[in-house]
């Protein structure tokens, strides 16, 4: 060693989509009165007219919305012949926790279509819910496709193929008619071309969008007429939040806290929601953490006019020390307000 530091090229976090270039702080992690870490990201909120009301970061950045696309995928499936409503339709749009009733529901979707678990094309996994997962392992069971959190969507995709007269073989191929229908619907509802296509964690095709496009799509689902594909999905999301997520999940708690809300979370720090009059929001945490999601989502919903003790409780994220709260995750206030936005 000569004492001279060599130059090291640090990796770029901007990426091809520039997702890190204009991200802004959206939440502080405060422990004992000291900010110990900061989450950056992109947040957008739309007023009831669809105009940009609030934002942090870049509302037009291209990103992968992960499982927040499931309600849009469910709309596409209904449009081409899927016949589900109520809890089972919510399950088709779910990232379920793998609790026993969730798995029974997936089984019902398959059984109604004359299908079996072996027909599922998603990856195998354990139940997400800690208690359900512990019981699953204690019973000596390993990863299974039925238990994976996207199995409801995959069961619905298979049922859709049969209803539309399409082959179920290759249903996850981006060139399959089902995936073409889904892409067309996603682009229609978001108003954004899907310029990037990848593969989601479950194995299904994954389409890119933007925060403002995702919020716009949720607004259209939340305000749709009853009986339409969008309206049916919206009703399932707001009336059956447990089926969309599970016990104690952030999305479940937020929907129960805000009357009429439709909401869906996604992996790698994504969340979207809309109120019945079309006020809507979407957020992406830059580092992919889910930790700040409830705190930031609750803050944006309050900025859009939602209120109440239940929302405050759903948005509280404690920082623990020695097993007890010693701080909180605090949303960064002062999101940019745009001219012409509703007050």
Q: What does the pLDDT look like over 92-104, one tens digit per residue?
A: 999 999 999 999 9
Say yes or no: domain 24-284+304-337 is CATH 3.40.710: yes
Per-residue pLDDT tens, the chain, 343 aa: give them: 333 333 333 333 334 446 777 899 999 999 999 999 999 999 999 999 999 999 999 999 999 999 999 999 999 999 999 999 999 999 999 999 999 999 999 999 999 999 999 999 999 999 999 999 999 999 999 999 999 999 999 999 999 999 999 999 999 999 999 999 999 999 999 999 999 999 999 999 999 999 999 999 999 999 999 999 999 999 999 999 999 999 999 999 999 999 999 999 999 999 999 999 999 999 999 999 999 999 999 999 999 999 999 999 999 999 999 999 999 999 985 565 655 444 4
Residue 17's pLDDT is: 47
For residues 180-205, one letter each, b for 16 or more C-beta atoms within 10 angstroms of the residue's C-beta and e for the rest, the string is: ebbbebbbebbebebeeeeebbbbbb
Backbone angles phi, psi at 330, to 5 degrees: -110, 120
Residue 333's pLDDT is: 59
Residue 19's pLDDT is: 78
Residue 337's pLDDT is: 60
Spell out the domain ranges in the chain. 24-284+304-337
Residue 177's pLDDT is: 98
pTM, to two decimals:
0.92
Residue 3's pLDDT is: 38
For 29, 196, 207, 246, 337, the CA distances from 193, given in Å and listed in that order, are 35, 9, 9, 32, 26
Residue 42 parent element (H or E): strand 34-46
HSE, CB side, 13 Å, CA atoms: give it for residue 291.
18
Residue 20's pLDDT is: 77
Residue 335's pLDDT is: 60
Rounded Cα–Cα distance for residues 261 and 273 (Å): 7
């Amino acid at each position: 060693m000569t004492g001279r530091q060599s130059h090291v090229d640090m990796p770029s976090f901007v990426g091809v989509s520039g997702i890190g270039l204009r991200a802004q702080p959206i939440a502080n992690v405060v422990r004992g009165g000291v900010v110990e870490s900061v989450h950056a990201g992109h947040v957008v909120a739309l007023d009831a007219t669809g105009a940009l009301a609030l934002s942090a970061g870049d509302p037009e950045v291209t990103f992968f919305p992960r499982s927040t696309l499931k309600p849009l995928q469910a709309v596409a499936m209904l449009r081409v012949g899927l016949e589900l409503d109520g809890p089972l339709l919510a399950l088709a749009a779910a990232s379920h926790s793998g609790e026993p009733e969730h798995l029974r529901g997936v089984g019902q979707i398959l059984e109604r279509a004359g299908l079996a678990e072996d027909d599922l094309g998603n990856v195998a996994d354990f139940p997400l819910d800690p208690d359900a997962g512990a019981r699953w392992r204690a019973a000596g069971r390993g990863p299974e496709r039925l238990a994976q959190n996207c199995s409801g969507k995959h069961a619905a995709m298979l049922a859709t193929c049969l209803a539309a007269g399409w082959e179920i073989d290759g249903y996850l191929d981006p060139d399959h008619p089902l995936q073409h229908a889904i892409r067309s619907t996603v682009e229609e509802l978001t108003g954004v071309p899907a310029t990037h296509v990848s593969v989601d964690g479950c194995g299904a095709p994954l389409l890119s969008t933007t925060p403002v496009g995702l919020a716009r799509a949720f607004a259209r689902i939340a305000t749709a007429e009853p009986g339409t594909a969008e309206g049916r999905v919206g009703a399932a999301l707001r009336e059956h939040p447990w089926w969309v997520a599970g016990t104690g999940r952030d999305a479940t708690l937020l929907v129960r806290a805000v009357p009429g809300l439709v909401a869906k979370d996604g992996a790698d720090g994504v969340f979207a929601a809309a109120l019945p009059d079309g006020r809507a929001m979407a957020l992406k945490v830059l580092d992919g953490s889910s930790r700040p999601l409830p705190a930031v989502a609750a803050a944006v919903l309050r900025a859009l006019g939602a209120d109440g003790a239940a929302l405050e409780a759903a948005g509280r994220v404690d920082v623990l020390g020695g097993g007890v709260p010693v701080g909180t995750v605090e949303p960064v206030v002062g999101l940019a307000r745009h001219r012409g936005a509703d007050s």
